[in-house]
Amino acid sequence: MRNGELLALDRAHVWHPYGPMPGRTDPLVVASASGVRLRLAEPAQGRDELIDGMSSWWSAIHGYNHPVLNEAARGQLDRMSHVMFGGLTHEPAVRLAAKLVEITPEPLRHVFLSDSGSVSVEVAVKMCLQYWRSVGRPAKQRLLTWRGGYHGDTWQPMSVCDPDGGMHELWSGVLPRQVFVGPPPAGYEESYARELRAAVARHADELAAVIVEPVVQGAGGMRFHAPEYLRVLREACDEHGVLLVFDEIATGFGRTGTLFAADAAGVAPDVMCLGKALTGGYLSMAATLCTAEVADGISRGEVPVLAHGPTFMGNPLASAVACASIDLLLSRDWRTDVKRIEAALREGLAPALDLPGVRDVRVLGAIGVVQLDHEVDMAAATAAAVGEGVWLRPFRDLIYTMPPYVTGDADLARIATAVRAAAAAG
């Protein structure tokens, strides 16, 4: 299809994330992707390929078109691309579940495989609410979370996203009413820890769970915080009988420098959500893990089953690729890669602080953020990055990058240059 024709059809018929209908701006058309490069169907700003600074929203940690992941997909495709999970099971899903239990913190024992991060959060919330109903505490049906968070675009996740000017403010009047505490400060502050403990204690009778993004609040503002707050939450939840959910959908699989972000605090949740990098960005799949205590509680209830069962649950193709992606990650020295990226981003982004309009520069693991003191001009910032041969997707007041772990040093330097160019233009 010619590019012009494709874009006309795209504008007329295809919704894009958080986009208007019909579309008002033309997206870039990607013809193929390999390694850390996206090849464009037609050049943009004189570039026919772009270094991917986004890992397709935290997911493509090994880069694109990876021979190991391709082989896993191909091998599984020849055997069985999908089969329903009700009444049937198969090796790829069972292997994946066992692997996830092995690599996540000890008390997590049971795995629900779903198709997207948002759904995995829905399932996590459902597990927690149902647990308390099942053990005879039906009043415990609310959630406590931090302001400035993001947990997805379906109903329960939207209710725990940033309520002030966040992406789902439109629905604030009709979403379930949750309990919010101010966003965690970057460093450890005892006064904030006290506030957290007090909020959990005050609302414990109605709280099913506390749900947070550990260490990095992603799409709600790309904020980093001290891991110690996770320990504070664990202690408060234990003391007051509240479940603790960690949403590691963005941070899981090494992005912050530890395999899971909460590992930095040595704290385990009762329920954990994984997605994005689970399949190395190849296929849509997410997982919700819970402890034996949560599962046993649900089993003791009047309705002793978890009433959730998506059509594509445990999809064999996605499961096989997820197993291969996890094996690939663990077989590589990914910690050194993430440290190398962290060092390169620290060095490359630091000069952005001298640019007019830049409020903050922060780097953690393979995540680099430049925060402006104004709303970014998306079109200008994106064009500036593309002009440098790099794909970035700024939002709100943020220009950020989370490159694939396989990004080489020369490409990292170009990403840093592009982030600075985007900050200067946006």
Which residues are near ligand PLP by CB under 6 A?
116-118, 121, 150-152, 213, 218-219, 247, 249-250, 275
Q: What does the alpha-carbon distance between residue 68 and residue 74 come to, in Å, rounded to a whole number?
A: 10
Q: Say how far apart CA 398 and CA 357 lie, in whole Å.
A: 11
Closest-CA residue to 73 (of 322, 289, 421): 322
Among the options 229, 276, 400, 411, which is catalytic?
276
Nearer to ligand PLP, 215 or 232 (CB): 215
52 is catalytic: no
Considering the complex, state which of residue 116 and residue 319 has its C-beta at the smaller distance from ligand PLP: 116
Closest CA to 211 of 128, 103, 108: 128
Residue 7 or residue 243: which is nearer to ligand PLP going by CB? Answer: 243
Q: What letter would DSSP give residue 349?
A: H
The vertex-326 CA angle with 321 and 329, nearest 5°, equals 120
Catalytic status, residue 276? yes
Cα distances (Å, whole numbers) of residue 249 to 36, 119, 273, 275: 21, 11, 6, 5
Closer of 152 and 166 to ligand PLP (Cβ):
152
Nearer to ligand PLP, 272 or 329 (CB): 272
- Minimum distance between the CB of residue 321 and ligand PLP, rounded to whole angstroms? 16
In this chain, which residue has its C-beta nearest to ligand PLP?
117
Per the annotation, the verdict on 150 as an active-site residue is yes
CB of 73 to ligand PLP, least distance (A): 19
Is 206 in contact with 241 (CB distance < 8 Å)?
A: no
Smallest distance, ligand PLP to C-beta of residue 76, A: 21
- Of 18, 78, 164, 354, which one is the catalytic site residue? 18
Q: Are 67 and 34 in contact (CB under 8 A)?
A: no
Going 180 to 209 to 200 to 249, the CA torsion angle's sign is negative
Q: Measured from the CB of residue 154, what is the shortest distance to ligand PLP in angstroms?
A: 7
Do residues 151 and 175 make contact, with C-beta atoms less than 8 angstroms apart?
no
Helix segments in 148-272, DSSP class H: 155-159, 190-203, 228-240
Is the separation of the CB atoms in 27 and 381 below 8 Å? no
Choose between 116 and 134: whose C-beta lies nearer to ligand PLP.
116
Which residue do the tokens 């090796």 mark? Answer: 91
Indicate the DSSP class of residue 85: -
Q: Provide, rounded to whole angstroms, the least separation between the CB of residue 324 and ligand PLP.
A: 20
Query: To 5 degrees, how large is the angle CA 235–CA 240–CA 245?
Result: 60
In Å, the largest CA–CA distance within the chain is 64
DSSP string, 237-249: HHHHT-EEEEE-T
Question: Which of 348, 365 has the CB closer to ligand PLP?
Answer: 365
Shortest Cβ distance from residue 218 to ligand PLP (Å)? Answer: 4
Here the tokens at position 45 are 């700003």
Quote the least distance from Cβ 79 to ligand PLP, whole Å: 26
Tokens of 240: 């007051």
Cβ 161 to ligand PLP shortest distance, Å: 9
18 a catalytic residue: yes
User: What token pair was written down for 338?
Assistant: 């993430």
Comparison of 121 and 193: residue with beta carbon closer to ligand PLP: 121
Q: At 25, which amino acid appears?
A: T
Q: Which of 247, 263, 337, 397 is catalytic?
A: 247
The separation between the first and the last C-alpha atoms of the chain, rounded to the nearest angstrom, is 33
| Polymer length of the chain | 426
Question: Which residue in 64, 131, 150, 229 is the catalytic one?
Answer: 150
Point out the residues that are catalytic: 18, 150, 247, 276
